Structure 1
Amino acid sequence: MARPPAWRHTLDEARRQALVAIDFYNRPGDRRSFSDFIVHIHLAWQNLMHADRMRRKAEIYYRENDNRRTFKRNPDGSKKSWDLAQCLKFEVKESDPIRANIEFFIGLRNHVEHRFQDSVLVATAAEAHACIINFEAELVRRFGEAETLGSELKFPVFVQSLSPARYDEQRNLRRGLPQSVLTFISEFQGRLTEDVRSDERYAYRLLLLPMKGPKTEADMALNFVRQDDLTEDELHDLLGQQGSVIVAEKYRDAAHGDEVLPSAAAAAVKAGIPFEFGVNDFTAVRKRWEIGPVRSGSMEQLPKSDGFCLYSPAFGQFVYRPKLVDRMVAALDTAEAYRELLRKAPVLKAQTEQFS
């Protein structure tokens, strides 16, 4: 039997590392390790790119000062292979959301402490999901359907995310993020274009809709449907017939219950400042801050919207988070600040309103 090529062993290692990463991510409770997920998915990507470059007889080792004959060496004397960041420079375009997703985890790797890893996991679930889907897609694209991980993975059984009563717990975990991680995520995403940030290859979000209905022989336990591809009648029929539906939604994460419509947000801002403040004022401020929809009725968001609002399919428009209300209240607390931000003179509220 012919000896397999060297790249075959590297590809097998890439697949193994990906499966180990997914296993660490899906483990319950104390057995879960998000930091181990990051380490192993990093190695999976690195081995995948090494394997493909080896197969193509392309370079994977560092050279001494660009000398084509002398390699850099590890302490044990072996040739020093390219790290993942170096591979990306040659394998994935700089503007590709897949590259942004991988670079996100390369940077995040140095910011995850064990005691905070559950908070980081919740805050980066969409990016982690995209990272796995991207790996599978690249694995199949480069080496063919025979290498898919699909036959070895099943959709995990879980409870927490399906229970509305657990939303508070999810929010509390997000609030527990250490400042270094918050800073890294904010600065990293701030460098991305809106096209990359909203691409499902960078962050893949799911809206889960569990429903009751008769089961047919053709039904699977889980059916994947893209909501944008359905008419209202088709969506109505689907919700009445399927046992469970998962709708792929790449626009925003799902609402958690504390978001409000513009009128309510404006009223909340007005209650926190000594001046009159209406919906038109709210719209003017959020547009100046580049938050919310690019235009009325659009599902596309302005570039600085993350964390302040999200698109709600239920309302057919954006809803706004308390974080934005608090920011506006802080920014409009004096007449001078009000005049500078809204470019008009403030009008004091009636005394009964100010002290009610």
Structure 2
Amino acid sequence: MKAPLLRKGKTKSLLESSIDCALLAVEIYNKPRAPFRVESFITHMIMAWTRLFQAHFNFTIGETYFYKGNNGRYKIIDGEKKAWELKTCIKEYGQLSNPVKTNLEFFIKLRNKIEHRTIDKDEVGLTIFGECQALLYNFESELTKLFGEDYAMNESLAYSLQFSKLRTSQQKEASKQLLSTEYKDLVDFIKKYREHLRDDIYNSQEYSIKLIQIPKIANTNKNDLAVEFVNWNSLSEEDKEKYDQLIAIVKDKVIKLEGANIGKLKPSKVLEEVNKSISFKLTHHDHKQLLCVFKIRPYADFNSNGDAFDTNPNYCHYDEAHNDYLYQDEWVAFLIQLINQKRLTKDEWKENYNQKKILKVDDYK
């Protein structure tokens, strides 16, 4: 599609606002002492993407990117028409690759989780740096695709300076912080989201940029730039092999097992194991009630947010390929202990289930 020639008007205003949001996101992220760096980056980048799509829709289909009620009239919020949020924009646009769409969906969900917490998120930022970098790269790529190279932001951005020793100490401290209970929910979410991605999506640079920073010993030309970015997709197969050899020298070794769902239990197997060790028979309905009150997995009729992956990963995970849930041995052990030590009776968990009350697993260990 030929890049549109924009003059004054709503499309240009939305586009400029989108670019400003992205630039502000980067500016905040690259300030070491700025509070809520990661939270602000995610929030502003989601605003940037939303306004980019709105600019595109405004230019192509006019002011129809708003929600309508059953009566056909626009929905009004605080006197303004309610525009499509980012999730709907992605669906209506329908032209993003799977890795780009998966990256955006990750940040939409993470933004919703971070918004309701007051903890410092910098440690989480170190964990998701690759996704953050891809979010920015994808934005500029889509920006120039829709509106042309004149709107590219690369001339406005600077490469962030790094303290190598401080970075190492920060990463060590982050590892300790991420083990604390305050961060557990966010880390569990990130881990679950990544584990359920197909390898081709996770390994894509459009989902997560993987960077290795190695000093250049010498330049081939004294006029060369100090920092060079290599577009992986533009490399020849021979050059890719050379980079793979380089990466093998410096990267951490990661071993992936080919087996899937090893050691995981189906609900019937959970009941079979539990019933061997308790004095009464636990039924599938009993099991559902316990899964609900301890929020082990989502159920449509019990405080569900519609996210199939919203499980407690210590006890359960969602198997996307088979569209069902599998359980850990730890869940069996927890149920046996819960029932035999009478920490929660059947009448009590039934009452909590009927009242849609959530209990904390840690309170009953």
TM-score normalised by structure 1 residue count: 0.61
Instruction: Find the counterpart in structure 2 of residue 37 from structure 1.
Output: 41
1:197 shift after superposition: 1.6
Instruction: Find the counterpart in structure 2 of residue 72 from structure 1.
Output: 75
1:97-124 CA-to-partner distances (Å, cap 9, x unmatched) read 1111111111001222343301210111
Instruction: Name the SS for the 2:229 alignment partner.
Output: strand
Q: Distance in 2 between matches of 1:158 and 1:134?
A: 23
Instruction: Find the counterpart in structure 1 of residue 123 from structure 2.
Output: 119
Q: Distance in 2 between matches of 1:4 and 1:187?
A: 45
Show structure 2 runs of 5+ residues with no match: 1-5, 263-329, 331-365
Mapping 1:145-184, distance limit 5 Å: 145-160=149-164, 168-176=172-180, 178-184=183-189
| Count of matched residue pairs | 250
1:324-352 CA-to-partner distances (Å, cap 9, x unmatched) read xxxxxx9xxxxxxxxxxxxxxxxxxxxxx
Show structure 1 runs of 5+ residues with no match: 240-246, 263-282, 292-329, 331-356
1:157 shift after superposition: 1.1
Contact 1:10 1:48 in 2 (8 A): yes
Q: Distance in 2 between matches of 1:53 and 1:161?
A: 46
Identify the range of structure 1 (52-61 vs 130-139) with the bigger mean alpha-carbon deviation.
Answer: 52-61
Identify the range of structure 1 (83-92 vs 136-145) with the bigger mean alpha-carbon deviation.
Answer: 83-92
Mapping 1:111-260, distance limit 5 Å: 111-112=113-114, 113-160=117-164, 168-176=172-180, 178-213=183-218, 216-225=221-230, 229=236, 254-255=251-252
1:209-242 CA-to-partner distances (Å, cap 9, x unmatched) read 113225633311112236874758x969xx9xxx
Instruction: Name the SS for the 1:63 alignment partner.
Output: coil
Q: Distance in 1 between matches of 2:219 and 2:151?
A: 36
Contact 1:119 1:174 in 2 (8 A): yes
Could you say what the CA RMSD is over the residues aligned between the two structures, in angstroms?
A: 3.5
Instruction: Name the SS for the 1:64 alignment partner.
Output: coil
Q: Distance in 2 between matches of 1:66 and 1:134?
A: 38
Instruction: Name the SS for the 1:216 alignment partner.
Output: coil
1:184-221 CA-to-partner distances (Å, cap 9, x unmatched) read 22332344322212211111110111132256333111
2:23 corresponds to 1:24: no
TM-score normalised by structure 2 residue count: 0.60
- Aligned-residue sequence identity (percent) comes to 26
